Amino acid sequence: MSPVSATRIRESILHAFPEAAAIRGAAWIVGGAVRDVLLERVSLDIDIAADEAEKVARDFAGRQGARLIELGRDRFVSWRVVLGRRSYDFADVTRGSIQEDLGRRDFTINAMALPVEGEAHLIDPFAGSEDIDRKLVRMVRGENLEDDPLRVLKAVRMVAVLGFEIEPETASACRIVAPRLRDIAAERLAAELELIFTGGDPVRAADAFRATGAARVLFGREVPPLYSRLDSGDAAVALAAIFRDEPDALREAGTRLRLSGALIGDAAGVLAFDRNLEKAITDKDLDVLLYQSGEWDARRAASLRLAAEDVEGAARVLDRVAARGEQLFATEPLLTGFEIAEIAGIPPGPLLGRLKEDLVLAQVRGEITTREAAEAWVRGRSDV
């Protein structure tokens, strides 16, 4: 890498993070920001390794009129300065030099650095720039994966998001370390999984899950072939694909992994629609299912069906949404609960609630279309 090229890399980083020009002291831009410039990707955060990182960070925060946030604890402490959408994270250079500091990082493509000040030169002791050209995720050292097993999932994310391949020796090391993912805080696992589910190519993610052994450890099952056929970066659909053959295991795994309640609920909704679609024999049955589930679950379930190579099932759902969805999803009861109670002569309670629900479903099926018909239907119910 020539000095001119390194200068251009630094200029590109400073264009994206202009405030970084105000950083003073022995400090280096490290990791993802360097990698992303080489990949022509946009970063929203930048990592700075520095001698006396707290002092450098405090000086920088003061110059920007920003608040300094302390992260972590003990030897893992770092400092963050947030400026608009951009985040600046500062950490101490460890083990005496920037080269040794890079040697403790996860993958070679994240183990590059540029000095903030002085002559621009790329510090790349593990040939990370060459691995970027070769589209390889390669570990710096095996012991670095052992130091933080979450790096196994980070390898999956690098593959899914960047379109890289895991170098064979690195994949082998990941399989050895993968069982220790069970020891990682669930919150850290959840954050990494949601990035994988939403941010990358499902085909590559599935391959990387298998290559590293991570899925079997975390989910108790391998990622099924249909996962590789997903055409959506929707986390709920991705999670539903993993548990489609055993939907009852979804909530246990989701709770254990501390995935968000909203994500678990959404994935469960997709699986419920997928399961109930088999029971919706007629168009009227499907209309009721669509009304009860909502458009979002219906479209997600159609994506799942496409991935399962059930084109006919997916088309049936999407065609019905197109034909009747606007009307179905906007269905309002023709009678209020108070009006039903008055006509039927019953007090508030479970029976009233059941009558109101049944009336709405009769509307959805097209069996009742006017207020007069609704009133007659209530009067004619034999169980009232």
CATH of the domain at 55: 3.30.460.10
Q: List CB contacts of 102: < 8 A, sequence separation 6 or more.
A: 30, 111, 112, 113, 123, 125, 126, 140
Q: Measure the CA–CA gap between 378 and 380, rounded to whole angstroms.
A: 5
Q: Measure the CA–CA gap between 285 and 245, rounded to whole angstroms.
A: 23
Q: How many domains would you assign to the chain?
A: 4
Long-range contacts of 4-12 (CB under 8 A, 24+ apart): 5/122, 6/114, 6/120, 6/121, 6/122, 7/120, 9/34, 9/37, 9/38, 9/114, 9/120, 9/122, 10/114, 10/120, 12/37
Q: List CB contacts of 84: < 8 A, sequence separation 6 or more.
A: none
Q: Where are the alpha helices (DSSP H) in 89-140?
A: 98-102, 128-134
Any domain includes 41: yes
1/72 same-domain check: yes
55/113 same-domain check: yes
Which amino acid would we find at residue 63? R
Region of residue 244 (left: phi > 0; alpha: psi -120 to 50; beta: else): alpha
Q: Which of 173, 201, 223 delimits the end of a domain? A: 223
Any domain includes 211: yes
2/117 same-domain check: yes
100/180 same-domain check: no
Neighbours of 289 (CB within 10 A): 22
309/246 same-domain check: yes
CB of 214 closer than 8 Å to CB of 174: yes
Any domain includes 228: no
State the residue range of the domain holding 93: 1-128
Q: Tell me the CATH number at 211.
A: 1.10.110.30
238/157 same-domain check: no
Q: Measure the CA–CA gap between 164 and 154, rounded to whole angstroms.
A: 12
325/341 same-domain check: no
Q: Which of 128, 163, 187 delimits the end of a domain? A: 128
Read off the pTM: 0.80
241/185 same-domain check: no
Q: Which of 223, 248, 277 delimits the end of a domain? A: 223
8/114 same-domain check: yes
Per-residue pLDDT of the chain (384 residues; tens, 9 = 90+): 444 488 888 889 888 899 999 999 899 999 888 999 899 888 888 999 999 899 999 999 999 999 999 987 656 689 999 998 889 999 999 777 999 999 999 999 999 999 998 888 999 999 999 999 999 999 999 999 999 999 999 999 999 999 999 999 999 999 999 999 999 999 899 989 988 888 778 888 999 999 999 999 999 999 999 998 988 778 899 999 999 999 999 999 999 998 989 999 999 999 999 999 999 999 999 999 999 999 999 999 999 999 999 999 999 999 999 998 888 888 888 898 899 898 888 888 888 888 988 898 998 898 898 999 989 988 887 555
240/274 same-domain check: yes
102/160 same-domain check: no
